[in-house]
Every structure is written in C-alpha cells, then in structure tokens.
C-alpha cells in the first residue's frame, strides 16, 4: 500500500480495561462447539451445496461429534426450508444433536422459521440485527440507538410469543448484535441486556449471547478485552452461554478465539477448514487440535482428517491449502536438511523410549502433534528436494525401502541424492530416491567385477577363497585366505596387487519390506593414497554374497572417485 493511501485508515480504539484478567488464564476445557458450515460456510460458496450434499455434510458433522449445528437460513429460500424439513421429517437429527437456524429480527421471517423447525426435538433460534455505528449510519439510514435496540427487543418478544405454538420443540434463544466487534461496548451490552430481560433465562434454561467478530477490525487482545468486558456487564451471566463467532479478515481468527475463551466465553461457532465469507470463519479444526496438542479433550473426533477433508472438498468444491494447519498436504513435511535430521532423530529416539514408557509425552522436533493421531502417515513427513539433507534421504530409504544405512554413510548418500534433485530442479519421490541409490551405491561392477567365488574351509576358522574377477574388462583368477569370506577376498586382492585400501567398517541386515531372502551389506573402505573414505552397498539373497558385493562396490567407488 502506498503511503498516501494509508491516511484514510485509523487505528482501532483500545478497551479501557486496566484490571483485565484474561492474560493469566489457560484453556483447560473445551467450549460448546457449534458448526456453522451449513449456513455461514454454505452461503460463502461460489456454488452452494445441494440438499443432498448438505445432508452428507450434516452426517459428517454428527460423526465428528458436533452437538450443535446451524443448518441454514430457512426463511431465506425454499432450498434452505426444505433441507430443514427433511432433517426433521426423515428423523436424521441424532437425539443428542441440536439444530440451529438463523433469522433476521423481522416478523415474517421469524414466523416462517418457526414453521421450518416444527417437530424438532430441540432447536436454537438465532436472531440478529446489526448494531455498529457504521451499520446504523449506512445500512439503516442513520437509525438511532433506540430504534436498533427496539428491533432486537421486538424479535425476542416474537420468539417468546411463538415458542408455545410448537410445544413438542424445546426452543433456545440466541441473540447476536451483528458487527459486535465494531459496536460501542455500552450499546452492545444495552441491546443484549434488553433481549435477556425479555427472554428471562435461568441457569437451568439458558440462552445464548453470541458476540460476533463479524469483521476483524482489531488485534486479538482487544477482542479479548471486549469479551471480558461484556461478560462482566451482561445481565444474568450465570444463565447465559456467551458465544464467539470470529471471522478471519486480519488472519487472526484462531488467536482471537483462543483469547476470547480465556476472557470468559463458553461457546465457539466456526467451520471446518475456516470456510466462510471473505477470508473465512474460524477454523474449528485448528482450535480443537490446538487444544488436543495441550492435552485438552474436545469431544470432536479428527482422527481421520484426510477423510473429512475429502468429503469437505467434494461437497463444497473448495480446496484446503497445502499449508493449512494440521490438514494441509505439507504441514508435517520437511524439505530442509536440518529439519529432516532432527525429525528422524526424534522419531528414532521416541520409538526406543516409548517401549519402556507407554505414556511418554509427545516430543519430536518440528512436529507439534503425532501425525498418526489425525490419520496422517509418516510417509510424507520427509520429502526430498535440493534443500534436503543426509538425514532425510536416509529416512526415506529406511521407512520406504528397508535400508538401514550406517550413520557415517548418510552424508555420502545424501549429497548425491540432493545434488540429483538440484540438477533436475524438482522433488524426488521415494521410488526415484531408491533408484538413484541403487544406481550410485549398490552392486557397482566397474572397474572391478566379481564373476565367481568359492570357499574352502581349512579348519580352525580359516577359509580360502578362489575368485574369478574382471578388472577393467580383463578376467583373472585370484586366491587368498583369511578368517571369513570378506577377509579372504581382501587377502586375494592383496596377493594380486589390487589392494590399495583399508577396510574400516562393515554392517549387514535383512531388508525390511523386501523379499524374505533379501539382505543388504555395507562396507566402508579408506584409500591408502588419499585417505578418502567411501561406503558401498551390496544386495543379494545371500548375506555372504551381499558382503562381497558391498566390498566390490566400495572398491569401485574409490577407483572412480
């Protein structure tokens, strides 16, 4: 934004609340959750959901565990009305779920809404009217405070009058001073208290006061001050559920909600993945999983987040950002080498420690929660591109292909793989990494190739090998003795004048996930001329031959270095 344009904007005034208490609070229990996906989320879609899609979404919300679900604006359109009627007439609403409908404080719309909810076991009738100075001036043509307050009171009185006409339905009143976030606090509380005085809630039969952050004008701390101030000044506070409904215009919907809960709110309205008008509503998944990550149960089940996301994307035709907290495709993925190394070490250490301490607190660098707890696998945690490092490549080879590389081999393999990714300017998938590993480090046969090999056991642990090799394309037979296959082969190379190295390390294991007879061996050699140290890998059904192939491979890597 250009400096000249900034002159048109003004800072949002702070709340005079010098004795605020919310900064010292912690979130230790979950609020009442209310999904507004089928209303607020649906009306924000370029192509609103059909009735059948809304039914599927409603069922999904019930499975997740929502006990309050705003199903729409039944007085606004026949589709909305018919959806409400289908839920009721087809007995689709679980016994422990309360539907919620939204309606402006206008008489004919409220009467139509009561027709829509007739027969429901329990329904929240959510009435609202805009209260901010900007709305009073622009939308309501300079209406006075008294006129705006009277609209709210008339709506509450009509709901109270109509409630006895549907005795089979328990009606709960919810009132929202829409655009609360930029309404003067004294006027917001005046409107709310006027409605409370009409409805006369009790601790046994509460009503809901919803304080919507309809447009985010201020920082989250100011929102928290507003909520705490309201909670102190509302009539019959013990008979109210104070509700939050944050939008995300400033990108701080989650923070505003969490601070609002610390400030005394009891209830949260929001949507899955933050769908909603403009920059969206609060993402309930984000807040709920934030609580889970601190050990707070929420009553909402996001243990299969991928399936929830699939339904959401299909019926709303919206997409979840790759970086959306928890749900995004890449949020548990590390490309950076240092991150990959720390994650690998953390996962390996936790695997060992949790065997002895089943209740061990979660603690893996860069992972705030265990991805498996929300249905994500470890397969995509580490992905390889030119920014990756040795630990990430080793992790992929281990997790995906069963190769447990010696730690000192990681830098050699890692650099080769990420140099390949850099040269191709792309990410390498697990199979491409495996193929590159085999091409560069496994069973290499030039300039030295082992053509045939036989052992004679001489007793007392001594063996003699007879090998046929090709060196730079020329075949020759060599022999040597030692205390095992590898040692005797090394001696044979020495006798033939081909040994110019020192064997410094050897490892072997069965390959996990491969053939039952597949084995991998790793041998490290140091050049006697240059002191260069390199690893080679051998793969063979025979662990003995895997070791010999690893030796030949390391020899060739040194020769070609």
3 state DSSP class of 451: strand
Query: Is 42 marked within a binding site?
Result: no
Cα pseudo-dihedral 395, 397, 398, 404, rounded to 10: -110
For residue 176, CA distances in Å to 80, 202, 205, 245, 411 come to: 21, 19, 18, 10, 60
Query: Is 404 marked within a binding site?
Result: no
CB atoms within 10 A of CB 322: 11
d(CA 207, CA 175): 8
Structure-token match 């309360």, residue found: 98
Query: Is 247 marked within a binding site?
Result: yes
d(CA 366, CA 433): 23
Burial state string for 361-388 with b = 16 or more CB within 10 A and e = fewer than 16: eeebeebbbebeebebebeebbbbbbbb
Query: Do 124 and 174 meet the contact criterion of CB atoms below 8 Å apart?
Result: yes
Query: Do 248 and 214 meet the contact criterion of CB atoms below 8 Å apart?
Result: no
Counting DSSP H helices and E strands in the chain, the numbers are 18, 14
Q: Angle 298-301-304 (CA atoms, 0-180°, nearest 5)?
A: 145
Q: In what order do the strands lie in the sheet with 501-510?
A: 501-510, 519-527, 533-540
152: tokens are 């709210």
DSSP 3: H
Query: Is 223 marked within a binding site?
Result: no
Query: Do 273 and 318 meet the contact criterion of CB atoms below 8 Å apart?
Result: yes
Which residue intervals of 25-93 are DSSP H helices?
42-43, 51-64, 78-89
Annotated binding site for Mg(2+): 40, 245, 247, 281
Annotated binding site: 40, 245, 247, 281
């Amino acid at each position: 934004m250009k400096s000249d344009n900034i002159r048109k904007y003004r800072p949002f005034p702070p709340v005079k609340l010098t004795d605020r208490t919310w900064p010292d609070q912690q979130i230790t229990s979950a609020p009442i959750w209310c999904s507004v996906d089928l209303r607020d989320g649906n009306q924000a879609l370029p192509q609103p959901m059909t009735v059948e899609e809304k039914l599927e979404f409603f069922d999904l919300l019930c499975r997740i565990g929502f006990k309050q679900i705003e199903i729409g604006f039944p007085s606004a359109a026949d589709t909305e009305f018919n959806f409400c009627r289908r839920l009721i007439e087809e007995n689709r609403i679980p016994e422990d779920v309360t539907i919620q409908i939204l309606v402006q404080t206008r008489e004919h719309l409220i009467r139509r809404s009561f027709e829509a909810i007739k027969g429901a076991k329990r329904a929240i009738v959510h009435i609202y009217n805009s209260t901010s100075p900007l709305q009073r001036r622009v939308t309501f043509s300079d209406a006075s405070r008294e006129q705006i307050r009277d609209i709210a009171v008339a709506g509450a009185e009509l709901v109270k009058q109509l409630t006895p006409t549907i005795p089979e339905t328990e009606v709960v009143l919810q009132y929202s001073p829409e655009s609360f976030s930029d309404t003067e606090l004294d006027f917001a509380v005046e409107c709310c208290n006027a409605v409370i005085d009409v409805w006369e809630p009790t601790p046994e039969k509460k009503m809901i006061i919803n304080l919507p952050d309809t447009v985010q004008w201020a920082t989250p701390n100011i929102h928290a001050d507003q909520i705490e101030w309201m909670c102190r000044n509302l009539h019959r506070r013990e008979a109210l559920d104070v509700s939050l409904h944050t939008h995300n215009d400033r990108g701080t919907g989650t923070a505003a909600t969490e601070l609002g809960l610390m400030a005394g709110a009891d209830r949260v309205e929001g949507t899955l993945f933050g769908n909603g008008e403009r920059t969206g509503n609060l993402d309930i998944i984000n807040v709920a999983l934030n609580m889970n990550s601190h050990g707070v149960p929420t009553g909402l089940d996001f243990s299969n987040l991928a399936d929830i996301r699939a339904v959401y994307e299909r019926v709303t035709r919206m997409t979840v950002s790759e970086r959306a907290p928890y749900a995004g495709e890449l949020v548990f993925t590390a490309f950076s080498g240092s991150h990959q190394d720390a994650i690998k070490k953390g996962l390996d250490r936790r695997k060992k420690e949790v065997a002895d301490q089943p209740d061990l607190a979660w603690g893996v660098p860069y992972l705030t929660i265990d991805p498996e707890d929300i249905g994500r696998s470890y397969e995509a945690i580490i992905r390889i591109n030119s920014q990756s490092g040795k630990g990430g490549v080793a992790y992929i080879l281990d997790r995906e292909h069963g190769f447990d590389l010696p730690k000192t081999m990681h830098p050699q393999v890692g650099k080769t793989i990420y140099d390949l990714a850099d040269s191709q300017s792309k990410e390498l998938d697990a199979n491409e990494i495996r193929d590159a590993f085999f091409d560069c480090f496994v069973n290499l046969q030039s300039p030295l190739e082992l053509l045939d090999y036989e052992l004679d056991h001489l007793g007392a642990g001594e063996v003699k090998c007879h090998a046929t090799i090709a060196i730079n394309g020329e075949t020759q037979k060599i022999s040597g003795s030692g205390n095992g296959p590898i040692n005797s082969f090394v001696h044979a190379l020495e006798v033939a004048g081909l040994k110019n190295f020192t064997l410094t390390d050897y490892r072997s294991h069965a390959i996990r996930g491969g053939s039952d007879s597949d084995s991998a061996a790793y041998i490290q050699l140091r050049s006697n001329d240059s002191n260069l140290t390199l690893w080679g890998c051998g793969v063979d059904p025979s662990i003995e031959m895997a070791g010999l192939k690893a030796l030949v491979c390391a020899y060739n890597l040194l020769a070609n270095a």
